[in-house]
Structure 1
Amino acid sequence: MTSTAPSDLPYLDAFAAASHDAWRAAVDKVLKGADFEKRLVGRSADGIRIEPLYPAASEPARALRAEAGRWHVAARLDHPLAEAARALALADLEGGADTLSISFAGAPAAHGYGLAADDVATLDAALHGVMLDLVQLRLDPAPQGRINALLLAALVEKRGHAPGGLSISFGLDPIGVFASRGSLSAPWPELGRRLAATIRTLKERGYAGPFVEADSRPYHEAGASEGQELGAVMATAVAYLRALEAQGMSLAEARDAIGFTLVADTDAFLTVAKLRAARLIWNRIQQACGLTPEPARIHAETAWRALTRRDPHVNLLRGTVAAFAAGIGGADSIAVQPFTAALGLADAFARRVARNTQLILLEESNLWRVADPAAGAGGFEALTQALCEKGWHAFQAIEREPGGEPGGIVAALAEGRLQQTLAAQRAARTKAIATRREPITGTSEFPNLREEAVAVLDVAPVGPDLRHSQGSLAERNQSELIRCFVGGAGRAEALAAPAAALRAPALPSLRLAAPFEALRDKADAQPRRPAVFLATLGPIADFTARAGFARNLFEAGGLAAPSGDGFARDGTTDLDALVGAFRASGAKLACLCGSDAAYAEEGAAAAEALVRAGATVWLAGRPGESEAALNKAGVASFIFAGCDAIETLTQAQAIANT
């Protein structure tokens, strides 16, 4: 913290240099005896300490992109119908996007939608008017990813483009699909052979790749911490290195075939550190392989699990924070989830807002003008190093899976061990969400019962393609398949024969807000919104804090909890007025709200009066020494900060709906 070097700003030398001890003394004075660790030190899901203050980094670890400058703005082509998909895609490109992520039907990232294109003609119609040589194209990992890649290559050939002049990421990720769906279409060695054959075919035609994608989204959506996400995605990349090397590729050639997709979440500091750590870990893996490190190619997408269906406009803030962090963290391209994505397929307005989020960060905030802007910042460097260690530990744990075929992450998934690890992490986060230690604005905190509906497209979800019969062209090599696709052949004709394949429990794709949303949906389905009567004690200044807490909690479960000016009279509570208001409300659940002094003086009497009037009585706050007396008077439960809100609201709905 202290420095003896001359200041670049000489007038600052007139002030005493700051020191950590002086800062800590000032903090302790403000805390007035409160626990420093509990008040000011946080912990990430991996247990990493989040300090309130960090010293300057002495030797920053540089995690640079291959090319400095603007990141690419990506939009998803995921409407099932070709013409509608085309219109949305052209609007995105005309509005500032320069990358299209094509999600075929069945792609996990499409979340029930996706382009239904089984032949080149349909794909051509979806991309009609899109100049393939002026944009970047990405294929989202999906079942039958090999066929999707060959269909796109056939479209390029049909249009007469030189593949070497195009920028296409082919998104082949059988491991990610295995994690999402719980099955592989063929034994792992056979999939490695097909993967290598597809890459060779595409490279022979002039494509530069990347061809394979190590995608962290399945693990993130299943509840992974930042370290677990890094471990899984690096283990996936190493599995592809091994598989391609086994098929005769050099390690350098295999390395160059791989790209990465990482999730940008709403914790900006951890997201920046995670992307930087990913680059450093990948460099270390390359060094261990005897390679001269090349920068990882990283595509970032804002977190699906962070999206909410309730008060969805708050998703605009989540997307902005995540996109900001991904840009600062050094993503090569970024996709922002439309703010209505959790409700259905986004319309043109939601897509425009999503891309404009990035354009503002690029054009008005100028985030792209500094390469690795987090370098040297003490907090970011410390978190980056900590995540490198956590990610490396998680990677090694996966790599310690039994040797032989398949080993590594494929074995970790097939044996269910990785699923168990993520389930434990998911349970811990679920508890933190339920107790609101991790609040969700607009859902678990500050809910809005009068929110306005938002528009989504009226499109039915598309079911996954479950066909498994062998097509007539299945035995053709990849180049012949491309020619057949150009000639009009369809997907079904190229399907390979069914084979005995690995099975595993599929990873769930979850959103953190879902438990609260289920309660809201249940409340909304009632003929009359369930309500809680807030039985306020004493003057308004005494009950406002706890009444606000109670209303916030109950409305998170869809229960109305109106509060007025109270029932104070001559310094006490008019119990007759309070009971009369309860009866008039029609509620069955009453919650006492007041100060500790009011609870001690009037709580028991108020509870008894409300019980006689037919109420189930709860109390806002911890009971302390008055618990026995309050219970005896009829208080059935207590609500307080840190209680299990999901369980509490479930019980409240059951009482209110009787």
Structure 2
Amino acid sequence: MTVPREEPGTDGGLAPPASSGEDLDLAAGFPQVDRDHWRELVRTVLSRSGAATADTPLAEIEEPLTHRGYDGVAAAPLYTAEDAVPARPGLPAHLREIRPDEEGLAGWDVRQRHVHPDPAVVRAAVLADLQNGGTSVWLRLGDGGVPVAGLPEVLADVLLDLAPVVLDAGTRTEEAAEAFFTVIAERDAAAQVMGGLGADPLGLAARTGSAPETGSAAALAVRCAREFPRLRAITVDATVHHDAGGGDAHELGGALAAGVAYLRAMTDAGLSVDEAFAQLEFRYAATADQFRTIAKLRAARRLWARVAEVSGAAEGALRLHAVTSEPMMTRRDPWVNMLRTTVACFAAGVGGADAVTVAPFDARLGLPDDFARRIARNTQTLLLEESSLARVADPAGGSWYVERLTEDLARAAWDWFTEIERAGGFATALESGLIAGRLAGAWERRRADLAHRRAPLTGVSEFPNPAERLPERAPAPAPAGGGLPRIHYAQDFEALRDRADRHAAATGTRPRVFLAVLGPVAAHTARETFAANLFQAGGVETVSGPPAEFTGGPGAVACLCSSDKIYAEQAVDAARELTAAGAVQVWLAGKGEYDGVAGRLFAGCDAVGVLRTTLDDLGVAP
């Protein structure tokens, strides 16, 4: 099969179908305004804050308010009919497939993941899931999961004609597939069994650094196409790009390149184009960035429809599995993960996922307990049953913001896909370091935003709970590594918290910073609270009082907290007093320059750098 390699910058056939019918003008009864009038009003507001001047050209006024993703795709502050991209759900653009269930209502597959190494425990957990809202099973087998030999025991209570089973066996995919085929044969369920074998050698190579190859996956696809009409052999796991720090367009373009590589391998192995398309499922990450997740999933459908079109496939529908993001999950204040996964699940449903997996809130702590698994299931049940989210086809369709963001993500992803293709395809781009380099660049940009708290993490970098007691969980099997990194957004702050905790456990005393408050309460409270929040994000305890109460001592650190007016009158003397009392470092909450003040804390400062320096000054071991 030949998939044309198109140059970036062309539309690549991505233009949506023209709209039909008459448009309803909802603004007909309101005064007419234009974008430049809005820009003039915005310029006036920005001028007051110093972000613009009265001479700033109107064409440039939106730039300070534009947010760019880590793939370079911009989200503007305003979208109007000028940004509209005509599209209709379920038609050629394939932005959202409409898949009614037996009752005539659209829905998605509630797919829970199981990684516990004990087959008996997994068997009970699978049964609990299927009896309480789950509709399919996702099993990690082999290294880092259930032993392959335990598969028959795990599936003993599963009706294979009702509950799809998806395998994830890594290096032991072929062995796991044979074990699954044996179970199917024993139950005479070849025609009814649903799910997938999870073969993804390219994704495995990206995760482990192994040599990429597609022949074994293609052979499994041929067997499935011939013997198991409802079973898919290959999963294109795009989360490997997300887990390494990539942006949404990187995830989309990388998945597209891997999917095309598998299509070529399958057609070379003897499958028709349509048979090859039917053997693929795609897995994407859903994050708490609601609108980008919605747009990403919509763009994924559109991009794959384009591949189907140029490949000559009769049907270009995409089977899409959304998984709540692993990098966004935190070990600290893990209960906040319930909020993150709820938003991500909502976005996955609105974006049109065919199957959704919600990670339990305690997944970063180890093996989830029954309560965490129940909450993960019920998150989906609430959105499906109580919120009726799946009863609407393409709920975001028609939003100028979402439609334009979908369009921009699709084009950026197509450019990245064609760059990978020009480099020789997914396997070559992976081996050359092209993919790793692009993802690393995106991660460094995100990491800087996290460190400066431009991308805040509730309960970690913002509003930490120094007195929290984390739930205890049994260790989870380690996932495969050795290839692209697995990052977590909270990792730098969590490492600092761990460092402070080890010090407290070893010495009986938590690292401490003295907040030297100046002037009346009304003058210092805001910056005192800001400084305490920042230091506590690194596991550092704070105590407050006037400079005279500072007792000093070896390795003592202090931070001045007050208003700019009082700083001008008292900061230099207060810093001198604190240094004389033994402070090795004097910080100031604000941006002023004063003698005796070595560093400043302010909104947008490098919080990770401040905390590392503070722990070093306090004599806390790395």
Whether contact under 8 Å (1:105, 1:463) holds in the other structure is: no
1:598 match: secondary structure? helix
For 1:58-457, list aligned pairs within 5 A: 59-60=86-87, 62=89, 63-65=95-97, 67-68=99-100, 69-106=106-143, 113-117=144-148, 119=149, 122-140=150-168, 142-158=170-186, 160-184=187-211, 188=213, 191-192=214-215, 194-402=216-424, 408-456=425-473
Residue matched to 1:16: 31
Q: State the alpha-carbon separation in 1 of the partners of residues 478 and 562 from structure 2.
A: 52
Change (3 A) 1:585 1:310: farther
Offset at residue 22 of structure 1 (A):
4.4
Identity %: 41
For residues 160-200 of structure 1, the C-alpha deviation after alignment (integer angstroms, 9 at most, x for no partner) is 1322212121111000001001013xx73xx41x3332222
Whether contact under 8 Å (1:416, 1:505) holds in the other structure is: no
Q: Match for 1:83: what amino acid?
A: A
Whether contact under 8 Å (1:533, 1:585) holds in the other structure is: no
Residue matched to 1:518: 495
Residue matched to 1:54: 79
Offset at residue 66 of structure 1 (A):
5.5
Change (3 A) 1:238 1:8: closer
Q: What is the RMSD computed on CA atoms of the aligned residues? A: 2.3
Offset at residue 99 of structure 1 (A):
1.0
Offset at residue 72 of structure 1 (A):
0.9
The answer to whether 1:461 aligns with 2:477 is yes
Q: Match for 1:582: what amino acid?
A: F
Q: Match for 1:610: what amino acid?
A: L
Offset at residue 7 of structure 1 (A):
7.4
Change (3 A) 1:620 1:25: same
1:620 match: secondary structure? strand
2:133 match: secondary structure? coil
1:553 to 534, 549, 552: 534
The answer to whether 1:542 aligns with 2:540 is no
2:413 match: secondary structure? helix
Q: Match for 1:64: what amino acid?
A: R
Offset at residue 47 of structure 1 (A):
2.2
Q: Match for 1:128: what amino acid?
A: A
Offset at residue 317 of structure 1 (A):
0.8
Residue matched to 1:488: none
1:532 match: secondary structure? strand
Whether contact under 8 Å (1:300, 1:334) holds in the other structure is: yes
Q: State the alpha-carbon separation in 1 of the partners of residues 554 and 332 from structure 2.
A: 27
Whether contact under 8 Å (1:531, 1:587) holds in the other structure is: no
Offset at residue 14 of structure 1 (A):
5.8
Residue matched to 2:68: 43
2:470 match: secondary structure? coil
How many residues align? The count is: 573
Please list every run of 5 or more consecutive structure 1 residues that lacks an aligned counterpart in the other structure.
Answer: 107-112, 403-407, 465-503, 568-577
Offset at residue 430 of structure 1 (A):
1.4
Q: State the alpha-carbon separation in 2 of the partners of residues 655 and 555 from structure 1.
A: 16
For residues 469-491 of structure 1, the C-alpha deviation after alignment (integer angstroms, 9 at most, x for no partner) is xxxxxxxxxxxxxxxxxxxxxxx
Residue matched to 1:582: 550
Q: State the alpha-carbon separation in 2 of the partners of residues 45 and 282 from structure 1.
A: 22
1:213 match: secondary structure? strand
Change (3 A) 1:154 1:280: same
Offset at residue 298 of structure 1 (A):
0.1
Q: Match for 1:411: what amino acid?
A: T
For residues 216-260 of structure 1, the C-alpha deviation after alignment (integer angstroms, 9 at most, x for no partner) is 111110011111110100000000011112222222211111110
The 10-residue stretch of structure 1 (195-204 or 224-233) with the greater mean CA deviation from structure 2: 195-204
Change (3 A) 1:226 1:401: same
Q: Match for 1:435: what amino acid?
A: H
Whether contact under 8 Å (1:64, 1:295) holds in the other structure is: no
Q: Match for 1:45: what amino acid?
A: Y
The answer to whether 1:608 aligns with 2:589 is no
Q: Match for 2:614: what amino acid?
A: A
Change (3 A) 1:462 1:426: closer
Change (3 A) 1:141 1:64: farther
Whether contact under 8 Å (1:73, 1:355) holds in the other structure is: yes
Q: State the alpha-carbon separation in 1 of the partners of residues 182 and 562 from structure 2.
A: 71
Taking structure 1 as the reference length, the TM-score comes to 0.83
The answer to whether 1:644 aligns with 2:603 is no
Offset at residue 657 of structure 1 (A):
3.0
Q: Match for 1:181: what amino acid?
A: T
Change (3 A) 1:95 1:18: farther
1:429 match: secondary structure? helix
Change (3 A) 1:208 1:506: same
Whether contact under 8 Å (1:141, 1:173) holds in the other structure is: no
Offset at residue 60 of structure 1 (A):
2.5
Please list every run of 5 or more consecutive structure 2 residues that lacks an aligned counterpart in the other structure.
Answer: 1-21, 53-60, 90-94, 101-105
Residue matched to 1:484: none
Q: Match for 1:170: what amino acid?
A: L
Q: State the alpha-carbon separation in 2 of the partners of residues 269 and 28 from structure 1.
A: 26
Whether contact under 8 Å (1:264, 1:326) holds in the other structure is: yes
For residues 107-149 of structure 1, the C-alpha deviation after alignment (integer angstroms, 9 at most, x for no partner) is xxxxxx41123x2xx2121122222222121112522212212
Whether contact under 8 Å (1:141, 1:213) holds in the other structure is: no
Taking structure 2 as the reference length, the TM-score comes to 0.88
The 10-residue stretch of structure 1 (89-98 or 127-136) with the greater mean CA deviation from structure 2: 127-136
Q: State the alpha-carbon separation in 2 of the partners of residues 455 and 350 from structure 1.
A: 12
Whether contact under 8 Å (2:588, 2:597) holds in the other structure is: no
Q: Match for 1:72: what amino acid?
A: D
Q: State the alpha-carbon separation in 1 of the partners of residues 412 and 460 from structure 2.
A: 31
Q: State the alpha-carbon separation in 2 of the partners of residues 536 and 645 from structure 1.
A: 20
Change (3 A) 1:142 1:366: same
The 10-residue stretch of structure 1 (147-156 or 55-64) with the greater mean CA deviation from structure 2: 55-64
1:198 match: secondary structure? helix
1:656 to 599, 612, 618: 618
Change (3 A) 1:550 1:320: same
Change (3 A) 1:15 1:508: closer
1:171 match: secondary structure? strand
Which of 1 and 2 has greater Rg? Answer: 1
Q: Match for 1:65: what amino acid?
A: E
Residue matched to 1:491: none
Q: State the alpha-carbon separation in 2 of the partners of residues 368 and 272 from structure 1.
A: 14
Whether contact under 8 Å (2:559, 2:589) holds in the other structure is: no
